[in-house]
Amino acid sequence: MPRFLSGIQPSGRLHLGNYYGAIREHVRLQDQGEAYYFIADYHALTSLRDAKALRANVFDTAVTYLACGLDPDRCVLFRQSDVPEVTELTWLLLTVAPMAMLENAVSYKDKVARGIPADAGLFTYPVLMAADILSQDGDVVPVGRDQVQHVEMTRDVAAKFNREFGADVFKVPEYRLGEAPYVPGTDGAKMSKSYGNVVEIFAEGRELEKAVMGIKTDSSPPAAPKNPDDSTIYKLFSLVAPDEREALAARFRAGGLGYGDAKKLLLARVDAAFAPIRERGKALRADPARVEAVLAKGAVTARENARRVLARARKACGLS
């Protein structure tokens, strides 16, 4: 059975891009192997320096994942900082991580190109990520396209460490892309919190209506035939209500369906699809002790794994 492992940045209120691009995939994989997921709060420190906000975001992220269907009896959900062994492992990996490899990391290069001063934490971010993956002996890392380079770096560093210390310390993992690696936002660009074009998983009522009815469209009149593949409304609808997708495509092509009405159809489907998730979210939010207990239980298992891997690594390099 493969072991899946993936990390989630605690970035607060998650959206349909996160859901269809990552969360739904993670939920499905629970039945296809051993599933490990963690909330990457050490990583979050490279962009968030506000203790209260970080704590709230970690809680929100855990609530979202549980509400969306992660089942603590079928997966291990934990908080990265509950496994401090990963930071020691990061140091061991840093000693074999080539500078040129890190200088080539897109996440780092992007920030520098935008004139944002980078600190060493951001620079070495991929090595902390490698330690996350290797410390759990992960086989497969389900991620979005933006994380592929980081998994490649993990493979390089793991293989190099094994080679240089002449021991089979680390498993060399693979990445796996999900079914919906690109979910468009309400303006047609990639749905992303930083673009302000999201439909949040927990949005309801007026807020949800505002987001969906605000989807940008061209100015074709209702009577005009429309190409569904050019429409953000249709793309989102296909994800939310795949069974009705062909029928909607036919109505787009036939003409007579205005964008306003198409949005109303989409709104109704999003509202219905996420209602059970919203309800579970409310129950979890009202019971923080339950959420904390899940994370505490996950931490025990994840720490056991990390201790075992770290012991192998220390032995291979000659540390006591």
From the CB of 291, what's the least distance to ligand TRP, in Å? 20
Cα separation, 319 vs 317, in Å, equals: 6
Told to check if 301 binds ligand AMP by CB under 6 A, we report no
Going by C-beta distance under 8 Å and a sequence separation of 6 or more, which residues neighbour residue 31?
Answer: 74
Cα separation, 65 vs 74, in Å, equals: 13
Q: Where are the beta strands (DSSP E) in the chain?
A: 3-8, 34-39, 75-79, 140-143, 174-177
Binding mask 120-159 for ligand AMP (x = CB under 6 A): -----------------------xx-x-------------
Q: Which is nearer to ligand AMP, 44 or 316 (CB)?
A: 44
Which of 62, 68, 133, 239 is close enough to bind ligand TRP by CB under 6 A?
133
Cα separation, 102 vs 123, in Å, equals: 7
CB 66 within 8 A of CB 28: no
Binding mask 71-110 for ligand TRP (x = CB under 6 A): ----------------------------------------
190 DSSP 8-state letter:
B
- Which of 16, 8, 64, 60 lies closest to 200 in space, CA to CA? 16
* Strand duo 174-177 + 140-143: pairing: parallel
**195: partner contacted, choices ligand TRP, ligand AMP, none (Cβ within 5-8 A by kind):** none
User: According to CB under 6 A, which residues from 6 to 65 bind ligand AMP?
Assistant: 9, 11, 17-18, 21-22
**190: partner contacted, choices ligand AMP, ligand TRP, none (Cβ within 5-8 A by kind):** ligand AMP
Residues that bind ligand TRP (CB under 6 A): 5-7, 9, 40, 43, 129, 132-133, 141, 143, 147
Residues that bind ligand AMP (CB under 6 A): 9, 11, 17-18, 21-22, 143-144, 146, 180-183, 190-192
